[in-house]
Chains A and B, each alone.
Chain A
């Protein structure tokens, strides 16, 4: 069978892509005349309604890597991938909206690193600002690389051409309209992603014969696998979590709930400026708190859009007469090809253009998110703080624009580095995972324990990052072959202290170790050092010293707590239905 995919596009496909590009650039051009201050350019003038920031909040996270990666996980691990949404994202988003947003939005902080400066001290902010700035541009470079490789293999576009075109489009609309333009486009891109992938899910389910038939097919896959899983291992989320040997993810419930659900998800959704920036752009405290809660509503249903195609692809591969087969790579399925293969299999010219546009839109929403978060942290937390304090606002607006260009240029460079040395990128992602893992402990203590000190936070973060690196250096997934997967402290993946059943299990436990270490060290050092901030200074930054947001005039169904209950109930119901 011919597993090479190559799309031939008709004029209609190009027309659809063209119309999308015109609108996306047009939004930037219209917004250009409103960009008169750095506050407007970098923070959208704190003027955007909650439903828009809410959709932008999840859209910026729905980059091309997520779309491709979630479908890949769907094929690799099955329906249990939903844990990333129903156990991972949703509780963290509820927590952000209810408890953490008041500190971000209510304090004078313009960014997450700046909050750390107000709450702790300069060195904690510096650590966070620099690591975040580097991380965001590299992340957008990696996703640019992924997209360009895809376009090269699918449509035969030149690698450099794809990179330049996609980067220039994102640059133009973020340079012209700043964060507002990025956010508005993210909403447009979100709807486009949904409408582009919905026909794929529809046709895929129809092709396989519906959810029940999909279950039967995947039961076959599970029973016949090398591990002889139970029949529902690919289509049930919780039932096989009692042991790491019983599910394709190779994780048990405790590691999953603590590692993914608590440490990693709360760390990402509650402290990553990339998403928090969207909520901070909202037009009121109420809107800011509702942002993640409104975003959570569609977020809960994304698994049906992005994970399901992967499962269908796996099922189709086992059907002898389906005419569909996942390509192989190093003896295993090449899971990252799920989305392009499925698009090519089901989409005739017309919707094919729409599907590719959706893929481009997802890439752009992710990249614009990175670029707008980078230029803010660079301008306020690095340039204004360390390099050129006390300049006019016009100067910082200019710097914000320059940082936008620089961010895109560095991303392009990172994409080429990724092309040259794949392992360098793996290595950098690993380092950033170490830096991110302990972060939530610092914020948790900072926001809810007024005694936490600057020294405590800084050394807590450092030791948490070190703990993550050490844990990773002493353990490895059982099938690891290179030191980038672990075991580098003992010099060989065969001599590790502990062998995890999967890479995912190792990641979750690395995060748990990092969090715990940071948590304990921050407490110990805080108790041993003097709190330099007075209670007056900590007002609005710490829970016990901050007046509760007033909600008396707010109609009950618009209150964050009410929204949170609705979101939680639906998430629980989804967990139970697909138990």
Chain B
């Protein structure tokens, strides 16, 4: 039906990941924030992982769409 769920998932994870990673980057020299997370910048790490996952989903979604468009075009071309 209608939508390819990989696209909204990819978009949401990319945005969330970017926001979290940027926030982690800004707060990197603030040791008080990361005292809880054992001095690991967990925001930056988690953000980057989410961003990577989101971009991967977006890429797969876009590649599939391109392929399907190509198939549709060749079908109409033949028919």
Contact = CB atoms under 8 A, between A and B. Distances in A.
Contacts of B38: 203, 206-207, 346
A254 to B, nearest CB: 43
Chain B at the A interface: mostly helix, strand, loop or mixed? helix
A327 interface: no
- Report the contact-size class of chain A (Cβ under 8 Å from the partner): 35 or more
Contact of B33 (A203, A345, A346, A349): A349
A19 B23 CA distance: 15
Interface residues of B, number: 30
Given A19-B19, A350-B20, A199 B46 contact: yes
B1 A31 contact: yes
A79 B19 CA distance: 36
Contacts of B9: 187-188, 191
Interface string B12-46: 11011001100110010000011111101011011
A354 B5 contact: no
Contacts of A33: 2
Interface stretch (A45-53, A212-220, A483-491): A45-53
Contact of B37 (A48, A198, A203): A203
B8 A23 contact: yes
Residue among B16, B35, B49, B53 with the highest chain A CB neighbour number at 10 A? B16
Contact of A187 (B2, B5, B23, B50): B5
* SS class, residues of chain A in contact with chain B: helix
A20 B20 contact: no
B36 A348 contact: yes
A203 B1 contact: no
A365 B40 CA distance: 31
Contacts of A354: 16, 20, 46
Contacts of A351: 20, 37, 42-43, 46
Contacts of B11: 23
Interface in A308-365: 345-351, 354
A350 B23 contact: yes
B5 A188 contact: yes
A16 B20 contact: yes
B6 to A, nearest CB: 9
Given A31-B3, A346-B37, A191 B13 contact: yes
Contact of B1 (A44, A191, A206, A207): A44
A195 B37 contact: no
A33 B2 CA distance: 9
A161 interface: no
Interface string A191-226: 100010011000100110000000000000000000
11 contacts: A34-B1, A34-B2, A48-B1, A187-B5, A188-B12, A191-B53, A195-B49, A195-B50, A346-B36, A346-B37, A350-B20
Interface of B: 1-3, 5, 8-9, 11-13, 15-16, 19-20, 23-24, 27, 33-38, 40, 42-43, 45-46, 49-50, 53
3 closest A-B pairs (Cβ-Cβ)? A350-B43, A23-B12, A184-B5
Given A23-B12, A188-B9, A348-B33, 10 more contacts: A12-B23, A19-B16, A187-B5, A188-B5, A191-B13, A199-B42, A199-B45, A347-B42, A350-B20, A354-B46
